[in-house]
């Protein structure tokens, strides 16, 4: 085998750096996603609007455990990837029409993290229930 040239060393280093960046960006940087606190109207359940556009913004919603919360999914993209919203802990799978808000009311029974995702589990978000 030939000796490794400088160019090849550069490619190896560049490749490793690129891999590191990809993993950092998608796995670690993603965790610092914005968190919204569902705000309650004077009466009725707390509401929060989640924009669906290639992902969920905000992707994390803080709510009070044991209290109902209405998630308003506002779908702005037309990718078939995001056409469904699934809340497996609550047995909900709903179709989100593009350009519309779809309200889903759930009540997290106890403190904890309740994930929601697209129909194929690629896009993810979570309800964080606290006391």
Partner 1 sequence: MGATVKPSAADHDLAARDTETIRIPVSGMTCAACQSRVQRTLQRHPGVADASVNLMMKTATVTFDRSSVSPESLVEAIRETGYGAELASSDLTAFEEQEARDRAQVEEYRELRRKALVSGIAGVIAMVISMPLMSQLAVHAHGAVADPFMRWAMESLDPAIRAAFPWMYQVPAPAIAWTLMLVTLGVMAWAGRHFYTRAWAAFRHNAADMNTLVAVGTGAAFLYSVLATVAPGFFISRGVTPDVYYEAVIIIIALILVGNMFEARAKNRTSSALRALVHLQPKTARVVRFEQEVDVPVETVEQDEIVIVRPGERIPVDGEIVHGESAVDESMLTGESMPVAKRQGDRVIGGTMNGTGAFRYRATTLGADSMLAQIVRLMRDAQGSRAPIQRLADRISGVFVPIVISLAIATFVGWFVLAEQAPAVRAFAAAVAVLIIACPCAMGLAVPTAVMVATGKGAELGVLIKGGEALQRAGDIGTIVLDKTGTVTEGRPTVTDLIPSAAFASDERSTELLRLVASLEASSEHPLADAIVRYARERGLGLSTPEAFEAVTGRGAQGIVDGSGIVVGSEAMMRDWALDAGTLRETAERLAGDGRTPMYIAANGELAGVIAVADPIKDSSREAIARMHAMGLEVVMLTGDNRRTAEAIARQAGIDRVVAEVLPDGKVAEVKRLQAEGKVVAMVGDGINDAPALAQSDVGMAIGTGTDIAVEAGDVVLMRGDLRSAAHAIALSRRTMRTTKQNLFWAFIYNVVGIPIAAGVLYPAFGLLLSPILASAAMAFSSVSVVTNSLRLRGARIA
Neighbouring residues of 47: CB distance < 8 A, sequence distance ≥ 6: 38, 39, 40, 41, 69, 70, 71, 72
98 membership: H or E segment, kind and range: none
Contact call for residue 113 and partner 1 (CB under 8 A): no
Contact call for residue 18 and partner 1 (CB under 8 A): yes
Q: In what order do the strands lie in the sheet with 124-130?
A: 35-37, 60-64, 124-130, 112-118, 84-87, 92-95
Contact call for residue 48 and partner 1 (CB under 8 A): no
Contact call for residue 26 and partner 1 (CB under 8 A): yes
Contact 95, 86 (CB under 8 A): no
Measured from the CB atom, the residue of 80 and 109 that comes closer to partner 1 is 80
Among 35, 67, 88, 130, binds partner 1 (CB under 8 A): 88
Task: Give me the least distance between CB of 4 and partner 1, in Å please.
Answer: 7
Structure tokens at 122: 């690629």
Among 72, 77, 107, 128, binds partner 1 (CB under 8 A): 77
Contact 57, 82 (CB under 8 A): no
Q: Which residues bind partner 1 (CB under 8 A)?
A: 4, 8, 11-12, 14-16, 18-19, 22-23, 25-27, 29-30, 33, 53-57, 59, 77-81, 83, 86-88, 91-95, 97-98, 117, 119-124
């Amino acid at each position: 085998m030939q000796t490794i040239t400088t160019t090849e060393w550069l490619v190896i280093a560049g490749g490793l750096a690129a891999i590191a960046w990809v993993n950092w960006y998608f796995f670690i940087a993603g965790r610092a996603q914005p968190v919204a606190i569902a705000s309650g109207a004077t009466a009725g359940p707390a509401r929060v609007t989640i924009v669906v556009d290639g992902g969920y913004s905000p992707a994390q919603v803080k709510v009070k455990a044991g209290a109902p919360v209405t998630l308003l999914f506002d779908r702005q993209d037309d990718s078939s990837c995001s056409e469904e919203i699934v809340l497996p802990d609550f047995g909900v799978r709903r179709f989100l029409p593009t350009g519309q808000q779809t309200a889903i009311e759930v009540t997290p029974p106890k403190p904890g993290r309740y994930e929601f995702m697209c129909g194929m589990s690629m896009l993810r978000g979570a309800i964080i229930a606290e006391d």
